[in-house]
Structure 1
C-alpha cells in the first residue's frame, strides 16, 4: 500500500489578555485613567471595543471618535501612563478558568504553542508567573514586531518561534482583532467568549470554532484535531 505523508501536528498561537488571563477590564480601567489624565473623557464601552488592537491603532481609533489630535510624544506618554495604571491593578488579574491546564495538556501531548500579544513585554511578562510558565516560554510581544493586530505580524512571528507554518497553526483569541490578524496570517481562528465579544461577532470575523473559555476549549480539544496519541 502506498504511504501517504503524515499530517502535521496542530500548533496553537494564543492571545493573552482575555484569552489566557482575565485582564480585559483591568486594561479598560487603565486606559480610562490614562485618557482622563489627558482630559479625554470616553465611555468604558467604547474603550472595550478596541481592546486587542495595537496601542497606536487603539489610540488613533479613539481619537478619531472624539475628534481630538495628539502629537507622537503625547501618544507615547498616554501608552506609558496606561502601562503604569495597569501594573497597579495587576494583582487583581487571574488566569482564566482552564488556562493553566490547557497549556499543560498541550505541552504533555507534544503540541507546539506560543503566546502572541499586542501588549508590550513590560506588562505581558507579568502574566507568565500567574500562569506558572517559565521565563523562556515562547512569547511574542509588541516590542518585537513592526505592527500589531489586526496586522498578522505577531502571529507570523509566533509561528516562526515554534517553527511551524502559519497555515498549520490555529490562533486562539477573544477579540475580532485577533481573528482578523489570524486570517491575514493564513491561520485558522478560534474564538473565546472570555474577553466580552459575542459569538456572532467572533464568527463573522473568521472563528471556525467558538468556546466559552480555555476550560471549554480543553474539554473539546478533539474537535481541533488534538488527539491523545499526538
Structure 2
C-alpha cells in the first residue's frame, strides 16, 4: 500500500444493496417480448442479471443480434415505472456506516449508468457514507470483465491488497476473481450459496444484514484490521 492508498470495499448495488433483481428480470423479460424475442424466459433473464445491458442482450440472443440497442432501450422504458417499487435491503445504511467506521472507503461499482446513481444512492441511504462510485460508463467492458472493479479501485485510491468486492451474482464473483480481489457474495439476489461458492466466492452471506452481523469476522473486518 502506498501512502495515499486506503483499504476499501467495492459494492455492487442491484441485488446486493437494493432489492431490484426481480424487478430487473420483469423489465428485461418484457423488453425481449416487446422486441420479438418471446423465446427468452424470465429464468434466462434472471441468470443474466449482473451483466451490463448490451452484453446481457448479446449473452441471451447472440453476439450478432442486430437489435441489441433496441432491446436495451425497451428495457429502460419498462423499468422506469418499476423504480417506485425499489427498496433497499434491511440495514444497508448501517452496513455502509459500519464499514466507514472501520476505516474503509465505501465505493459503489455498478454495471448501471451514471444516471442511475441519482436515485440509487438516496435509495440505499448512502449520501453521507459513500466515498465514490464507478459505473459502466467509466469502462469499455463491464462485469463480468474485471475492468469495472479495477477502475473503481484505481479511481478511488484503494489498496488492491486490502480491498474486498461484495456482490450477489456469479458475474460479480467472476469479475472479482479476474480483478484479483477477494469476494463476498450475498444470496439475496436469488443465486444459491452453492453456485456462488462454486464460482469462487470466498464467503457467502444471506443479505446485507447478515454480513453486518458477522462483519468483524468477515473479510471486510480482516482488511479493516490490516
Give the alignment's TM-score, normalised by structure 1.
0.87
Indicate the RMSD between aligned Cα atoms, in angstroms: 2.1
Aligned counterpart, 2:65: 70
Of 97, 108, 118, which aligns to 1:104?
97
- Alignment check: 8 A CA contact 2:136 2:142 kept: yes
Of 142, 164, 172, which aligns to 1:170?
164
Distance 2:20 2:82 in 1: 9
Q: 3-state DSSP class of the match of 1:165?
A: strand
Q: Does 1:129 align with 2:126?
A: no
Larger-Rg structure = 1
Q: Which runs of 5+ in 2 are unaligned?
A: none
Aligned counterpart, 2:86: 93
Aligned counterpart, 2:34: 37
Q: Which runs of 5+ in 1 are unaligned?
A: 1-7
How many correspondences in the alignment? 217
Distance 2:9 2:74 in 1: 32
Distance 2:78 2:25 in 1: 10
Q: Does 1:192 align with 2:186?
A: yes
Of 53, 56, 73, which aligns to 2:54?
56
Q: Give the deviation of 1:124 after TM superposition.
A: 3.8
Give the alignment's TM-score, normalised by structure 2.
0.89
Aligned counterpart, 2:45: 47
Deviations 1:184-217 (A, max 9, x none): 1110011100100011111111111100000000
Deviations 1:138-170 (A, max 9, x none): 111111111001101111121123211333211
Deviations 1:35-88 (A, max 9, x none): 111111121111100000122221112104xxx9532xx212221221222121
Q: Give the deviation of 1:9 after TM superposition.
A: 6.6
Q: 3-state DSSP class of the match of 2:158?
A: coil
